[in-house]
Amino acid sequence: MTKFILKRMGISFLVLLVGSLLMFVLTINSGDPLADLRESNADNRDELIERRISYMGLDQPWYQRYWEWLRGVSGCVVGACDFGTSRNGVDVSSLVANAASSTLRLVTLATLLAIVIGIIVGIITAIRQYSGFDYVVTFLTFLFFSLPVFWAAVLLKEFGAIRFNDWIADPQITLLQSVIAGVVLAVILSSVLGGGWRRRALTAGITLVFVVSALMYFTAVGWWRQPAMGIGVVLLTSLGGAVGLTAIFTGLRNRRVLYSVLTTVGAGVIAYYAVGGLLADPSWPILFVLLLVAIAVGLVSGYFWGGDSRRAAMGLSAVMAVIMSMLVALDRMVYAWADFLQLKPRPISTIGSSTPNFTGDFWENLLDVSTQLLLPTILLTLISVASYSRYTRGSMLETMSQDYVRTARSKGLSERVVIVKHAFRNALIPITTIVAFDFAGLIGGAVITETVFGWKGMGELFISGVRDVDPAPVMAFFLVVGIAAIVMNMVADIAYAFLDPRIRR
């Protein structure tokens, strides 16, 4: 494996080198970087032209300019990157740092959500092939996949931001609206859970009553502007997650794993009160340390409860610790919503990645960043979920028709074991390739999404560089995206070996 990785790195370096030379030549020959100044009527026009020539090195031959750029970026090996200066004399390294952080904030959450939701939906549709749920999901995935991004972004800005901001000023939900929402959710949930018509009717009826009652209650008590969760909601959700994780991955008959995960939930409830003072107005280092402590508690719980299933118990307990930590953080954000509305009466913004001059405590600032992320994240997730769910469905259907899956069923193994331990792991191999390259591509910036929502990310950096015939930002974009593609490709290769031991040889 080491020899293989070194060989791939060597080939990738040559590809990057040739690609960078081609990109540089194409960029500098795509137009005149002095065109706007030549047409200027400013008194100091000649001075401005000389300054730009100096910044961009236009008085040097192209190969010398490329060599200067190559020598600067070679310093990245020792941590001293020099991407050069833009045509305005701005250090491109600082531009790349700001653009990359903005893009990573945008695409990381969207990609993770798309992977999780897409894989889950793909597995369910493969298991329920040719059912009503499968047909509905197929229709929706093709719809999302074919959506024009700019059009969907404009619709989200209209209904998800402008009209929501109008509604939240005096939030009211009528009985008719509650019934419509309840019917839609009832149809979806009964289709997902399936079963006979009696079971479907019971599921739909319970869902309808619950949704209508909850929406009318929330409206009556003004919950939309002053929401609250509390330890009760956190505990019930965590218990549901603990039972669900155990049922999916080991089965509820494995009491040791179940007790381990439930112990982690109990420790989380104690921590909810024990660290309440630290969570009043924390910082990111404090939250990171608390998360590490929570994971450590989960690992210890799994170690002592696990027995013969120690590895599974430690893994699921650690995952449960992360989930419960996220629920506690969400609880704090919910409590901060009322104060956040006082600082920002129209909470959902349509432009930018943060609110200028926003003042608030930690949770209010986190709400501000989260609301800025909300719409572009929804857009990117919907588009990506379509591809992930279809690839997962196809891969699962192909895997479940293999002889070893039929043999596993004939041995009397439960359907959960057949799907999770036999079919799903092998179905992940082709999906891994898609995930790796999709994430690498998104690091390059969701150009249209960033443009519509006014994000200053990698896509905007590339577009401005091409428009201004400025090679420094374009080359920085190429280098970051190229390295990301190489790294993610390597991660995919390593994941192959983990998923299928035969590939290691």
pLDDT in tens, 259-294: 999 999 999 999 999 988 889 889 999 999 999 999
> For residue 262, what are its two tokens?
């439930």
CB–CB of 484/144 below 8 Å? Answer: no
CA gap 404, 418 in Å, rounded: 10
DSSP type of residue 75: G
Q: CA distances (Å), 9 to each of 274, 308, 452, 480, in order?
A: 49, 40, 37, 15
CB–CB of 285/269 below 8 Å? Answer: no
pLDDT in tens, 78-110: 777 788 888 888 888 888 888 888 888 888 888
Q: Which among 420, 427, 425 is positioned nearest to 399, based on CA atoms? A: 427
pLDDT confidence of 386, banded at 50, 70, 90? confident
CB–CB of 395/380 below 8 Å? Answer: no
pLDDT confidence of 502, banded at 50, 70, 90? low
pLDDT in tens, 116-142: 898 888 888 888 888 777 888 888 888
Q: What is the mean pLDDT of residues 462-490?
A: 85
Residue with tokens 């259907």: 397
| Range of lowest pLDDT (326-330, 362-366, 409-413) | 409-413
What pLDDT score does 461 carry?
Answer: 85
pLDDT in tens, 180-202: 999 999 988 887 777 778 888 89
pLDDT in tens, 400-409: 888 888 888 8
What pLDDT score does 423 carry?
Answer: 84
What pLDDT score does 503 carry?
Answer: 63
Distance of CA 233 to the CA centre of its chain: 25
> For residue 208, what are its two tokens?
């309808």
pLDDT confidence of 333, banded at 50, 70, 90? very high
Residue 334 or 489, more confident: 334
What pLDDT score does 300 carry?
Answer: 95
Q: What is the mean pLDDT of residues 164-178?
A: 92
Q: DSSP for 263-327?
A: HHHHHHHHHHHHTTTTTSS--HHHHHHHHHHHHHHHHHHHHHHHGGGHHHHHHHHHHHHHHHHHH
Residue 179: strand, helix, or coil: helix
Residue 172: strand, helix, or coil: coil
What pLDDT score does 76 carry?
Answer: 78
Question: Is the pLDDT reported for residue 494 higher than 80?
Answer: no
CB–CB of 143/383 below 8 Å? Answer: no
Q: What is the mean pLDDT of residues 380-391?
A: 86
Q: What percent of the chain has pLDDT over 90?
A: 30
What pLDDT score does 198 carry?
Answer: 86
What pLDDT score does 212 carry?
Answer: 94
Q: What percent of the chain has pLDDT over 70?
A: 97
Q: Which among 437, 424, 443, 415 is positioned nearest to 493, based on CA atoms? A: 437
Residue 217 or 480, more confident: 217
Question: Is the pLDDT reported for residue 179 higher than 80?
Answer: yes
Question: Is the pLDDT reported for residue 169 higher than 70?
Answer: yes
Predicted structure pTM score = 0.82
What pLDDT score does 305 carry?
Answer: 92
Q: What is the mean pLDDT of residues 445-458?
A: 79
DSSP type of residue 454: T
CA gap 263, 260 in Å, rounded: 5
| HEC profile of 401-417 | CCHHHHHHHHCCCCHHH
Residue 79 or 481, more confident: 481
Q: Domain spans of the chain?
A: 1-90+468-505, 95-171+222-467, 172-221
Residue 250: count of CB within 10 angstroms of its CB: 23
CB–CB of 24/471 below 8 Å? Answer: yes
What pLDDT score does 15 carry?
Answer: 86
Residue 481: count of CB within 10 angstroms of its CB: 18
Question: Is the pLDDT reported for residue 443 higher than 70?
Answer: no
Computed over every residue of the chain, the mean pLDDT equals: 86
Alpha helices, DSSP H, located in 401-470: 403-410, 415-417, 425-443, 447-453, 458-467
| Range of lowest pLDDT (69-83, 164-178, 397-411) | 69-83
Alpha helices, DSSP H, located in 175-221: 175-193, 197-221
Q: Which among 85, 64, 81, 62 is positioned nearest to 73, based on CA atoms? A: 81
